Amino acid sequence: MILIADGGSTKADWIALNKDKSEEFRARTLGLNPAVVPEEELHNRIINMFQLINIKDDVTEIHFYGAGCGTPKPTAILKKILENIFVNAKVFISEDMLAAVYAATGKEPAMVCILGTGSNSCYFDGENMKMLVPSLGYILMDEASGNYFGKKLIIDYYYSKMPKNIAAEFEKEFNLEADFIKKSIYKDANPNMYLASFAKFMFDFKDEKYIKRLIKKGFQEFFKYRILPYKISEKTPIYFIGSIAHYFRDILEKIAKKNDLQITDVIQRPIDNLLEYHRNNIK
């Protein structure tokens, strides 16, 4: 049995393949970002998914692509956890950016970007990923991501920059007590996922001028820091992965055009494309 996983900060999608590369089942766990989720919690999130545990001794390979797996220490933590659970499996862990590349373009050169709970980008030359700047995560970077917009909404609400009609709905939707927010950000697991949970609010108000302005500013910031420094040509294919890109594709395409670029495709969930890539490349 082979497991393929696309692990974001909010959720992780799993697909199990049998020896004939046919799909046995799919499962979804909570996010497994080892850079922000404590080790014990990572372990619990996996073992609490009965579909995975029921076949744990039959798994021979795991191909895990995850947020927070771009640096050695968190990657080693997650690898150890998976090896301890799936004792007969060879475990291969790569960052989610590589999954985005495989899902979007396979083997063709392209600019590939992630706009989900977090954000990132790279240029893929057909063989290797080129990343000008490593991601420093939700506090320092992640422009135009779910957690980026979550922070902006909370800040605007507290500084009374949010229009009153939208602020009234915002109050109905979320617990905005200062102590609760601080606890969720500074003490609880997955603070980036918590912040990103506010971004869903934008979907219901995406036609409001305030929300449009917020999204446009965030997308332009992403292009400024995460795409334009690569100095790609207007003919370079550009792919976006993630829910933020998917739900606000119309605005994203306008910002791309403003920067003399064109988006080739937006993929909300890369797991299906990732599955096809592995079917064609796993021996």
Structure tokens at 149: 């917009």
Instruction: Return the pLDDT at 107.
Output: 80
Is the Cα torsion angle 59, 63, 68, 74 positive or negative in sign?
positive
pLDDT reading at 121 higher than 90: yes
Instruction: Return the pLDDT at 24.
Output: 93
* pLDDT tens-digit readout, 216-259: 999 999 999 999 999 999 999 999 999 999 999 999 999 999 99
Assigned CATH topology for domain 2-99+271-281 = Nucleotidyltransferase; domain 5 (3.30.420)
> What does the buried/exposed string (b/e) look like for 240-261 if buried means 16 or more CB atoms within 10 Å of the residue's CB?
bbbbbbbbbeebbbebbeeeeb
Closest listed residue to residue 9, CA positions, set 52, 64, 68? 68
Backbone torsions φ then ψ of 161, nearest 5 degrees: -95, -10
Q: How far apart are CA 252 and CA 93, in angstroms?
A: 30
* pLDDT tens-digit readout, 174-219: 999 999 999 999 998 889 889 999 998 999 899 999 999 999 999 9
The ranges assigned to domains in the chain are: 2-99+271-281
Instruction: Return the pLDDT at 256.
Output: 97
What mean pLDDT is predicted for residues 119-134? 92
pLDDT over 70, % of the chain? 99
